[in-house]
Amino acid sequence: MASFFEKQTINKSNLLTRRSALNAIGAGVTASICSSFLTSNALATSNIPFGVAVHLDPFRNEPIFRELLKQHAGLIVPMNALKWASLRHTEGKFDFGGSDEIINFAEVNNKPIHGHALLWYDANPSWIDAVTSPPLLEKLLIEHIETVVGRYAGRIATWDVVNEVVAHDPLTQGKWRKGVWHNILGPRHVEIAFAAAAKADPTCRLFINDYDLEDDSLRTEARQRAILQIVRRLQKKNIPIHGVGLQAHLYAERRTGRDNLIKFVRELKSLGLEVAVTELDVIDWKLSADPKVRDRAVVATVREFLDAITDAGSVRNITTWGLSDKHSWIKDVFPRSDSAKARPLPFDDQWQKKPLFDLIKKYTK
């Protein structure tokens, strides 16, 4: 896992925006952020569903998680239960135990469901990573997508069809993510996956999902260009694609490239695509240990990003990658150098609300 990041409203009142700006400054954020508050769209977009990615272990074992989901989630995303590694332990059999548990809960509680993910270079069973025959791999991919999307057809409203197919750094690594799908099938793997998903559930909204699309570094610009190229190529071939998911694993030490992000989102919209925030959390590994300082910086980081993306146009949903710090992946992949616990999510490790929760509620319904 550590490899993929390769470590390293029209304003209701100016009062609100001024307060936001002051908070941001208090968190050590530079004045450049303040310009965004003049156009902040947050209050006008408060009909955006608040999505939560659901990790099976706490979902099963910590009743408070299910209670908080019932209270607050406007969308449910099975975090790992729909990945190949969870569904396909052996080639001959699908294991829908975990995904059914989460999806049934979502349906009973009238929560829409977003599916994650039909193709990813990571979290594959070893038997799929070992396939070397292109026709066989294509057949397995199509069968998998038809079976999984088919099972939940009409129930899962949106799918991440492909996840992280763009290289971490297209400037030095070429456009495509290396992994079994690209290595064996070449760029066609994306087309095969979208076509199979569209066939299995023609009503479903189909997304491409990726990370590091928010700042204005040359690497991020190259990643944005790669996404736009993939979208245009699918459209040229009349293969349905409906949206782009911005994971938004934000780094507290990086700034949102506001103008660049708005340009990117508007280009996607001009191609007829929707935009969703799919895996929001904040990597706080470089911040000082004081939880109050960190919580303020996390809020400032997320506010800056959400202001930019909501100013760029409508957002289908804002989803956090889990709810409680207790179960976040960030402490494992981005460990701190001190003994302080990572604080990337809206609730702390005792399931207590943090300032990030209140912030997200300002942008979501």
Distance between CA atoms of residues 250 and 253, nearest Å: 9
123, 171, 218, 289: which one contacts ligand G3I (CB under 6 A)?
123
317 is a site residue for ligand G3I (CB under 6 A): no
8 is a site residue for ligand G3I (CB under 6 A): no
For 26, residues 6+ apart whose C-beta sits below 8 A from its C-beta are: 296
120 has which bridge partners? 163
Return the number of the residue (99 or 163) whose C-beta is nearest ligand G3I: 163
Q: Which of 138, 214, 221, 279 is catalytic?
A: 279
Distance between CA atoms of residues 283 and 241, nearest Å: 30
Q: Which of 138, 164, 221, 304 is catalytic?
A: 164
Return the number of the residue (83 or 296) whose C-beta is nearest ligand G3I: 83
Return the number of the residue (80 or 224) whose C-beta is nearest ligand G3I: 80
Q: Which residues of 172-183 are buried (b: 16+ CB within 10 A; e: fewer)?
A: eeebbbebbbbb
Residues 70-109 that bind ligand G3I (CB under 6 A): 79-80, 83
Distance between CA atoms of residues 43 and 45, nearest Å: 5
201, 214, 221, 279: which one contacts ligand G3I (CB under 6 A)?
279
Give the DSSP letter string of 305-348. Answer: HHHHHHHHS--S-EEES-SBGGG-SHHHHS--SSSPPP--SSB-
Q: How far is the CB of 177 from ligand G3I (least distance, A)?
A: 12
1 is a site residue for ligand G3I (CB under 6 A): yes
163 is a site residue for ligand G3I (CB under 6 A): yes
Spatial CA neighbour of 199 closest among 265, 258, 141, 267: 141
84, 329, 334, 357: which one contacts ligand G3I (CB under 6 A)?
329
Q: Return the residue matching tokens 């260009």.
A: 225
Distance between CA atoms of residues 165 and 148, nearest Å: 20
HEC sequence for 17-29: HHHHHHHHHHCCC
Return the number of the residue (57 or 259) whose C-beta is nearest ligand G3I: 57
Instruction: Write the interaction track for ligand G3I spanning residues 195-234; mark x where CB under 6 A is met and - where it is not.
Output: ----------------------------------------
Q: Is 164 a catalytic residue?
A: yes
Q: Which residues bind ligand G3I (CB under 6 A)?
A: 1, 57, 79-80, 83, 122-123, 163, 247, 279, 329
Catalytic residues: 164, 279
